[in-house]
Amino acid sequence: MKKCPNCNETDLIAQKISASVEVDACPKCGGVWFEKGEVGDFTNFAKDIPDIARLAKEAKASAKKCPQCLISMKEMKYTGSSQLMIDYCEACNGVWFDGGELGELKNIAGKLEDVKLRISREVWNLRFSLHQRSALTCPKCKEKTLHTFNTSEGVTVDLCDKCRGMWMDRGETARAAELETDFPDYRAVAQTAVLTSLVCPSCSNKLHTMKYSPKSDLMIEYCQKCGGMFLDAGEMAKVETISANAESAGKKLVRCLKQMHDEGYVKLM
């Protein structure tokens, strides 16, 4: 008989929480034990813990022992953008939710906003933790004021402490703007590129200033060597607005669903 990780001596009892999922629950504290695969079945996510590969790196040792393996579990976030903490067993892949947290799990599973991977929103709304990497030199301020931060979804962004400009490595602008590539139409704007004296924070190559898209007046700094892009304060919002009209809604939806499937949030039929 499995014992409750919280109450220690209390036996867990089988409890049906949906038509297809039966868990082990503690009658005393209300905690719930999910065996491997059961959380995913309950939430209809592709994985029990979305984006577990990244979140596991931030896990800490838990005082609770696995009801099945009797070894110490790991305490970690359930999703990067939520504050729900769960206990995870690395041996059997079981997951423990404390009493009252089942409702929060349902809430997360039912809200698309909690699982959308949009750096453009996260970068302004989340508190960042300073990354181990040394500061880079801001092209505009010419000082080591670009600090690399990890968003809750595992994307790195370099923000300038002084001018609030943003350095995006190759591919990060595409992810932020929900496009296939960093530029909506690079061939059309490449001819507008003009060499500047600004230095790339990543490879020390000289940056070019150029239009971001053919139909906008937004000018950005771009490194033709490493593919990085520098955006002045507030320009990320302009990039997002431009991208909204750059692709069809259907094309964006297909790519978004694939990305969310890869992260473990949705199941593709």
State yes or no: pLDDT of 154 exceeds 60. Answer: no
Tell me: pLDDT of 208 over 90: yes
Is-above-0.85 flag for pTM?
no
Looking at the structure, tell me whether residues 90 and 171 fall in a common domain: no
* Residue for token pair 């009493």: 99
28 and 44 share a domain?
Answer: yes
Q: For residues 199 and 68, state if they share a domain.
A: no
Q: Give the pairing type, strands 229-231 and 129-130.
A: unpaired
**Would 268 be classed as within a structural domain?**
no
Q: Within this chain, do residues 123 and 100 fall inside the same structural domain, yes or no?
A: no
Least confident range from 4-18, 41-55, 152-166, 225-239: namely 152-166
How would you label 101-114 residue by residue, b for 16+ Cβ within 10 Å and e otherwise?
bbeebeebbeeeeb
d(CA 85, CA 50) in angstroms, rounded, equals 13
Beta-sheet strands, E only, within 117-243 = 129-130, 146-150, 156-160, 166-168, 194-199, 206-211, 219-222, 229-231
Write out pLDDT tens, residues 158-194: 888 889 899 999 988 887 777 778 888 899 999 999 9
- Measured torsion, CA atoms of residues 38, 73, 91, 44, in degrees rounded to the nearest 10: 20
Last residue of a domain, one of 111, 137, 156: 111
Query: What's the chain's Rg over C-alpha atoms?
Result: 23
Summarised one tens digit per residue, pLDDT across range 210-268 is 999 988 899 999 999 999 999 998 888 888 788 776 654 445 545 555 556 666 655 65
- Residues 150, 43, single domain; the answer is no
Domain closes at, from 111, 140, 158: 111
Q: Is there a single domain that holds both residue 88 and residue 160?
A: no
105 and 123 share one domain:
no
For the cut 70, the answer to whether the pLDDT of residue 53 exceeds it is: yes
User: For the chain, how many structural domains are there in total?
Assistant: 2
In a domain, 2, yes or no: no
- Whether 269 maps to a domain, the answer reads no
Residue 74 lies in a domain: yes
Nearest residue to 157 (alpha-carbon basis) of 181, 179, 173 = 173
Look up residue 206 and give its amino acid: K
Helices and strands, number each (H, E), in the chain: 8, 15
Please indicate, yes or no, if residue 39 is contained in any of the structural domains. Answer: yes
Residue 51 lies in domain: 13-111
Instruction: Supply the pLDDT for residue 256.
Output: 55
245 plus 222 within the same structural domain: yes
Last residue of a domain, one of 60, 80, 111: 111
Whole-angstrom Cα distance, residue 240 to residue 242? Answer: 5
